[in-house]
Structure 1
């Protein structure tokens, strides 16, 4: 979500306003340049445009929706109707709800921006063949200049492929009834720039067609990184080779292509819990990740700077403390899932140290009123960036090494490699993550594959809390494990929304009304139940 002054000019070709209002808005200010053929005349400007694409990349809507709709949160002490008036906390989800529209539009905006910059980049390359021509008379200075431009160009293109692939993977995960079924309906395939934004109508295509584009984009990006003279990106804020491998691994596991995932883990090893992505096994180390003091566990995260949306404000008004007016709190069922030695649920980790925590004996006899006023578990997953002086504002972690450890465990369980102490068993990776987070190194043994998936689902709930993953994990694994939304009795009884089966139709997002109304090609392709 980086902001930069070039965003409006770099991406000014987006046709987002109706032509009937053209006289009202089509006013050119002094110094304003809206022609992409003029804007993208240098490699510097292409890189500015890439920053503009990153500026629209966000997972905030997924994080908010998942935390409220599932069992990650409970109604907070200062709740003024949030999640209740909309019905979201009561599982009210339909094609007019905010979340489907936000997730759909956010991803297609990212795709649209990426597509348009790809076209502009190709135009730049066509108009400037000089940089790609081989001339025996070139001096070393000229060769260096050409290498600089072409390698930076390749870098831009590779990142655009990676960003577009991510957006499509996210869309399929949320809007397809079964992301593991290539023949099921996916989403709209937009890999070009429409000649007219208001007369191009696209239907949903199969998941298989979407995955073909995802796989192609990932491979093209990897090929560029393997052959280009451009330095390999290592920053957690940009699409790197590790980003691409993490995305591919997530895709394969979500598609239940477990053997392919196991093979990819073996052939393209991302270090599991060691440098450059060491798993944290101390409270201070874990807390430093949340506050963005360090980033060792992050393979990729979205930078959030002063002026960006404060994701922590989804749950707290002014700060992640009892006095910060929390209108959503950590659910009791999530809190209870962690053991007493787990660093993730220690004071000032996921839960703030100011929280009021009732004992098991107190809970056993608590009334609704007593519980509400005396068990206040404050969400602290996004406490704010102290270096920037921003409360509730932190980077959005997209790929972490903790997720990859559990993807590896899931893939191994999927091919039946359940137990043992070797790295080729699912039990090894579950035990390793638990050891780092709790200090307990007890052997893990699964009764069968269903048991393994059940344990992995539980581990993902703890490791990836408040990262927008719980909804999709229930959707993917819940029908096998029998585990859906399961709220603590005192969190749900007053509202009549305690459980939701993993097989419920609401674990697939509806196509938003805005798309259904505007796009005749998608009418009749709404998901079941809506």
Structure 2
């Protein structure tokens, strides 16, 4: 594996900023200063970028509220274990409100901190005029800005393919500066439309794709593969299916094989990984225990917070390599559970401390297959889907589905492939479907136990959009009149 990158914590203030070294000792911390004088070498610009990457890492890896897990918790891949701490109970039961602590304010604040960091870099990029590193640095900053805005848009706004009125509905505030622009620290901007958001997100990513380097920028950082991976996802969400196919075709990372796949989730290999957010596992203070959101281990017991949904787990074929990657039998208080194996820890560890897998090449293939199906290219879609299946089933038998059966197969393979990695809620939402949980199947391994409190979230329900945090409503008078309906 590549060496872990040195991530520097940067706290961005309206009139300045400061940072301290988080992992290694080769970069010296600096205190409050002026961005126009601090950003003067590729190394100092990289410090700024690494601060922005870290905010994304905090967004995804928070052990209580991270975006790596909440989209599965509010959908139908998992069910709450009654012998756990009952963490994220309000979210699993679909009772989240603007004042709720946890994911809602975390998602909002960390994403905008990442955007702030990217904008600081973009605003000073002319300081590198003539330097060969300039384009690559600007490309990373543009892609980070687009990535964070995309997450905000899909969390707090509708997704363009979700409904007929989605594009004209409220999206989020797109904070955009250009070279030399420091922005207005006293501005109180309002929410733009979803359509406007996606134009700006795609614009930043497309520009980034022409600037960023093709060589790796180091583990945990974006490169050309990563930008096209994000484009394949954003185009799919935006209903631009041919462009999603084209972007997926630009991804050169090979699929992880059946033998490699288990090691992906213990960080023993980077096979099939296009984008990840890295942590330092060398010390207790090294990083968030991302897997703790699902379970912890104590005195030989597995204290599961959430376990795999009974129907979902039992729909996975025994010949599917992902079955053992997803599940192990967790025991707590005399009960057996379909405990979640992904993100348990590095080899021999059960501390939940592993890198966050943002985008794997398998998602690129599945984006492509879905886009091909949407364009009526069924034979091509089946071929692409079978490329994924060939690396997951032993023995592999090529599928022959057509029509609605093929569409269902693509979505099933997507659900299994990306389970517990933060996709399921958004996949249901962008397709305008309903969340359907079995109202009689419980949390225990044989389907007994306590069933879900909220078995259905009907398509079109206002809760598919999270509420704008109350703190933002109170601070920004423009936003105050633009809360999402239903809250």
TM-score category by the smaller chain? 0.7 to 0.9
Partner of 1:436: 391
* Offset of residue 386 of structure 1: 3.7
Equivalent-residue separation in structure 2 for 1:487 and 1:345 (angstroms): 23
Can you give the 5+ residue segments of structure 1 that lack an aligned partner in the other structure?
18-29, 133-149, 357-370
Q: Classify the secondary structure of the residue corresponding to 2:295.
A: coil
Equivalent residue runs for 1:67-106 within 5 Å = 67-76=72-81, 78-84=83-89, 87-97=90-100, 98-106=102-110
1:223 aligns with 2:234: no
TM-score normalised by length of structure 2:
0.83
Q: Would the aligned equivalents of 1:475 and 1:508 in 2 still touch at CA under 8 Å?
A: no
* Offset of residue 455 of structure 1: 2.7
* Offset of residue 289 of structure 1: 0.5
Among residues 164, 169, 181, which one is paired with 1:184 in the alignment? 169
Among residues 408, 415, 419, which one is paired with 1:461 in the alignment? 415
1:374 aligns with 2:357: no
Q: Classify the secondary structure of the residue corresponding to 2:171.
A: strand
1:165 aligns with 2:141: no
Paired residues in the alignment total: 450
Equivalent-residue separation in structure 2 for 1:487 and 1:15 (angstroms): 53
Equivalent residue runs for 1:63-142 within 5 Å = 63-76=68-81, 78-84=83-89, 87-97=90-100, 98-122=102-126, 124-125=127-128, 132=130
Would the alpha carbon gap of residues 373 and 455 (structure 1) be closer, same or farther in structure 2, given more than 3 Å must change? farther
Equivalent-residue separation in structure 2 for 1:74 and 1:183 (angstroms): 34
Equivalent-residue separation in structure 1 for 2:343 and 2:72 (angstroms): 13
Q: Would the aligned equivalents of 1:484 and 1:502 in 2 still touch at CA under 8 Å?
A: no
* Offset of residue 82 of structure 1: 2.0
Equivalent-residue separation in structure 1 for 2:214 and 2:70 (angstroms): 38
Equivalent-residue separation in structure 2 for 1:504 and 1:5 (angstroms): 40
Partner of 1:496: 453
TM-score normalised by length of structure 1:
0.77
* Offset of residue 407 of structure 1: 0.6
Equivalent residue runs for 1:327-476 within 5 Å = 327-346=305-324, 349-352=325-328, 354-355=329-330, 373-386=334-347, 391-418=351-378, 420=379, 425-448=380-403, 450-476=404-430
1:212-261 per-position Cα deviation (integer Å, ceiling 9, x unaligned): 22222122222224xxxx66336452211111111111111111122332
Q: Would the aligned equivalents of 1:461 and 1:470 in 2 still touch at CA under 8 Å?
A: yes
Partner of 2:254: 277
Q: Classify the secondary structure of the residue corresponding to 1:188.
A: coil
Partner of 1:23: none
Equivalent-residue separation in structure 1 for 2:124 and 2:390 (angstroms): 49
1:15-63 per-position Cα deviation (integer Å, ceiling 9, x unaligned): 699xxxxxxxxxxxx9845333443233322222222221111323222
Partner of 2:446: none
1:189-219 per-position Cα deviation (integer Å, ceiling 9, x unaligned): 210266553x311111122322222222122
Q: Would the aligned equivalents of 1:430 and 1:456 in 2 still touch at CA under 8 Å?
A: yes
Q: Would the aligned equivalents of 1:316 and 1:328 in 2 still touch at CA under 8 Å?
A: yes
Among residues 200, 215, 226, which one is paired with 1:243 in the alignment? 226
Q: Would the aligned equivalents of 1:165 and 1:214 in 2 still touch at CA under 8 Å?
A: yes
Q: Would the aligned equivalents of 1:312 and 1:381 in 2 still touch at CA under 8 Å?
A: yes
Partner of 2:26: none
Partner of 2:290: 311
Identify, as 1 or 2, the structure richer in strand.
2
Partner of 1:206: 193
Partner of 1:477: 431
* Offset of residue 526 of structure 1: 2.0
Partner of 1:147: none
Q: CA RMSD in A?
A: 2.9
Q: Classify the secondary structure of the residue corresponding to 1:378.
A: strand
1:440-463 per-position Cα deviation (integer Å, ceiling 9, x unaligned): 433434453x44433322222111
Would the alpha carbon gap of residues 508 and 372 (structure 1) be closer, same or farther in structure 2, given more than 3 Å must change? farther
Can you give the 5+ residue segments of structure 2 that lack an aligned partner in the other structure?
18-28, 444-448
Q: Classify the secondary structure of the residue corresponding to 2:172.
A: strand
Equivalent-residue separation in structure 2 for 1:195 and 1:476 (angstroms): 33
